[in-house]
Structure 1
């Protein structure tokens, strides 16, 4: 009896301890389907794809603790959704009471799988309360929820509720392999519409393909008989065209002898021109194989959704000019220049005047860029000139036209220039309207976080040095105030509100921005904004940083230390390319020079005006003030001259 009381206390403690975040375990931003009483049956009944649905309760401590795992599972198999989809339904919501009762949900979490054309059932486990009374299992077993799956027939009747299966292993790898088994147990006619064959090929079927020309790549993945990797890679490439993956077992000796394969798993690549070779992978892991195949030339994400046909000027469905050659392992100054050009001449132009909070945010942004911009040259000098002008100008309202005049250098300050051309290089897209400015803005802030990490003294005496994450805070305020995509701004603000205050140093600042960028890529992968030639994927890819990727319990994980080292090197000053830059050559070096030294550099390149410690704008204002003062003095002179003459005339006519 005491043991039962202890179990009850433990369960209540687990539920109450997680109550703070149980209000809403899943949101629209998660890569899964949020189902309800009205959408459950239309989604899973008579569906062309399989489904795995978790029925949970928002008050259940197990469900709360397991929610992060379920989200990771959904993200891990996001590209499988044409074959099998992941969903959730909250049985604690009053409107869902009836449907949960109808589907026989008694315990949480319960996982129901919609299984296409399933003609067999699996046994149901004994309920937990019986286990307590009879088996008396240990406490930790009672606190471990069972995995429950429900199988449905395709085009089943509305009265069919399937059969529930429960399994003790609830880790991502086990559930993922369960999903693979569900799909493979279909016949060819019963298979989901967009699910390829998962059965292994024989040597007699694969050997004739060697040396044959084709319109796509063929990847032969050879693995052991108990491996799931081949089937998982096939499903990972489900939404990509230009490559087909076929699996074979290590028992196919004729195939192994012909291809000279001795290690497993291995991938042998048949190219469209008839040539063939081993696909070298730094690590024999699922993530590496999938990423390498996705990055092959001509392989792109396919979508059954038609892209919109833009009719606005400059937004046609074809590129106006050919793709520029670029190296994905480098960062291009031209992208940073294009980002600043669009930001200052297009996005900022929607604000006719800058005042109050807008003016403060703009000043902070210009100050940040002027201190951390690594490109130097005319753009760096322009940012410094603009920053000095904003700081010294004692105005609470500034018209945008004044900012534009300085950007266009209409006062003739030597060595100050920002090209008025959107020349994307590393951020160019396969068609107009893809990548471009958002990509370059991410790149700009990545560069700024790394520059600040290398020289934190650069922001001394700017008013920004007191913040733990100054680059992120300025970026947050800029996106909230000026960024044109309102929905994007709300997403970024939500992410910043949740975690940016937890960033305590420059290293965490670099990693936080990288992590958020990957989350955005994961959310937008496969959407209309995703470029088919440059699909959004976890970055950096294995080809850029193999040591950044690891696998734990069959699930991809990041080596954050190696990621930080890569980011410092990739976005560092030494990796910035001046090719295609329109600002002219400049010495690219980390900003380690002190403020007096940088002022001396500006004076050396700015002529006698800069040598006095003033910018061209300062001198222009002084000249204007001098002219106005001269005119005012002349008016005073004529005023008193006329007044004195009248006085003399008046008193000269008085009678003696």
Structure 2
């Protein structure tokens, strides 16, 4: 039977299947996406809580997986963001946690990280009961920077902002005497603008300048409701920049509503060699350099290796499933369905097949729900001392965080559709979509790359060619290859 599977794999998939690879392998463990030189505080389970809790600054934390393609694509933007706002550290800092690392599974589970990348805000003086506030919206640098401003202002509205944070809201009823009594500086900058909170440039200017407090004068916003100040300083057009001195002197400048322009205009008042000077940061846009794929890796990609299949299962159950805080309802049903399919059709070595069978048998004892920690223990016990770290061979990429797990998972499901088709070639009394439905359930509820998951579910439910349209086990093999080709096409266009 196994020889038939090899032949079928070769004919249908165009692959050769190797149990004992003869080429060099690379570890399953992934390298972090960020370097120590990046202005991103990299944390793990040992120091996460001690780093972010009870601090007077807020945090924006990215929970990512170093194998996730969208995390890899997002990394340059996150580095650019961190460089862009590194001067905001007195108010909010940027950090990251790699959920792909074994030791971080409990941490990411506790903070209910269900997809990658996930961005969460943590307010100042965060305590152990807070799970963070998930950020939604686009992943462009400007959009995230604006959401940081919104989060800071929300902290003021909820009266949670520490007293040293700069006030981002416009002047309300404060008089000039109120301002001079509030600040110890001998200068204050007023930024007059036509709108209230629909623009961000003036608030970003406040954040940019605050890194040099108390050397740099505080900046306060003024909108059109303060006609008394507009008249007092003879502001003819908006936006405008008024430099006030405690002595009563003032200068008015017409400005452009742009963050970079504000940096330049404010720099006029400080010598760049003096302490507290406002320095215009250099561009920090990070670009990805091309990497050469070694010839032995290219050769390995034309073959299917048992190491890749087993590696995918080790990561799927050891990370993707175990990281969930609670598995219940449809999630538990989908998990049991996948394990059942693997138990019956995974053409693996005896050790892994025994592990899968034991896992499924023990999971049957949980009828309604199972906690992530409990599942992790079931998986650990089912492995029974077997190696928990496999090495990628055919799925090795030019970097440790390229290909790897996603490649191994695709290969595993391709192999399962072929194995199922071999066992049920005549399609009698079987559901030809069994493997595809099991794959769909796992991808929907457990695959960490949220964008990838949503895209696959869209394909699976496409009214022109849904999974339900598959009428034979052989057609299931071809449906999955067509879906995979579509994913590759989109990935190539994106890259």
- Measured against the shorter chain, the TM-score band is 0.3 to 0.5
* Larger relative contact order (CA 8 Å, sep ≥ 6): 2
| TM-score for the superposition, normalised by structure 1 | 0.35
